[in-house]
Amino acid sequence: MKVGNLPDQTRMEVYNHIKKNVRKYYKGLKNGSLKYDFFVKTVLSKNPKPKWLTIYPKLENDKEFQKYLIGYIKKEIERYAQIEKTNHATHHLSNTENIKIKERHELKTILNNHGYTLSIPAKFITYTESGYLKEYVQNGTPIPFEWERILNYIKRTT
């Protein structure tokens, strides 16, 4: 079955399910220790089955669909690798020094003005994390790949 023949909602569910699993097993897929075809077969046969797979059970054994997913996964891995390379080049990951008091106050002010609060003490946030949080809150800039954990550091005020 062609993916183009699936309803839009189902197609989005497929993409989201595959992306979630690619993020989980990214390192193995990237370095080749986890083969794409084995990964696709495992994702499609894993229990409990996702909603879209229970609606379209024939997709589990459809070779054309599996080939399409392998191509999609390769594109995602390339995209993640490009993002990783870009982030590594623009931000120094070795910057683990915590922010100073002035920057803490500035971060808290920015978060407060945009309806957020910190859920951890500000003294534990590094310069890099502070920069990502500021960009995210002020401009809506997406958090870089492998830095998503910093979204747990903030919460919306109600």
Domain ranges of the chain: 3-90, 101-156
Angle, in degrees to the nearest 10, between helices 36-45 and 8-24: 120
Which neighbouring-strand residues pair with 98? Answer: 126
Contact predicate 63/12, CB 8 Å = no
**Per-residue pLDDT, 74:** 92
pLDDT, mean of residues 40-68: 89
Angle, in degrees to the nearest 10, between helices 36-45 and 63-90: 110
**Using 50, 70 and 90 to split pLDDT, how confident is the model at 5?**
confident
**Using 50, 70 and 90 to split pLDDT, how confident is the model at 130?**
very high
Q: Is the pLDDT of residue 117 over 90?
A: yes
Match 């550091």 to its residue by tokens: 153
- Rounded Cα–Cα distance for residues 107 and 125 (Å): 10
**Using 50, 70 and 90 to split pLDDT, how confident is the model at 95?**
low
Predicted TM-score of the model (pTM): 0.55
**Per-residue pLDDT, 3:** 77
Alpha helices by DSSP H, 6-149: 8-24, 26-31, 36-45, 51-55, 63-90, 101-113, 127-139
Range with the poorest average pLDDT among 11-20, 69-78, 93-102, 148-157: 93-102
In angstroms, the Cα distances linking 151 to 8, 37, 63, 85, 143 are 29, 33, 38, 21, 8
